[in-house]
Structure 1
């Protein structure tokens, strides 16, 4: 069963995961988000109920 031989794919697998774990987080964390979150206002807004014309 050749799929049990780790020689052809193990180094490729490890190298790929090292790239994912080392380079990509720094690129993702350096991304600038254009819309920064803003806190919601603490005051309650007054809402009026809608009168349905058929009710």
Structure 2
């Protein structure tokens, strides 16, 4: 039975995972936003209230 022979699909699976683990982490890490979205100065600034 050809599906029980691990030679072709085991090598393809191993190379696919090696490729995935080699090339994908840098691509994913470029999309990580390294800066804090709320800078500490934004909490200190208060808007002026309107005097009508």
TM-score range, shorter chain: 0.5 to 0.7
Larger radius of gyration: 1
Which residue of structure 2 lines up, in the alignment, with residue 23 of structure 1? 23
- 5+ long unaligned stretches in structure 2: 44-52
- 5+ long unaligned stretches in structure 1: 42-55
CA distance in 1, matches of 2:5, 2:17: 19
Which residue of structure 1 lines up, in the alignment, with residue 6 of structure 2? 6
Aligned residues: 38
Instruction: Give the TM-score, by structure 2 length.
Output: 0.54
CA distance in 1, matches of 2:21, 2:32: 20
Instruction: Give the TM-score, by structure 1 length.
Output: 0.52
- RMSD of aligned alpha carbons: 2.2
Is the helix fraction higher in 1 or 2?
2
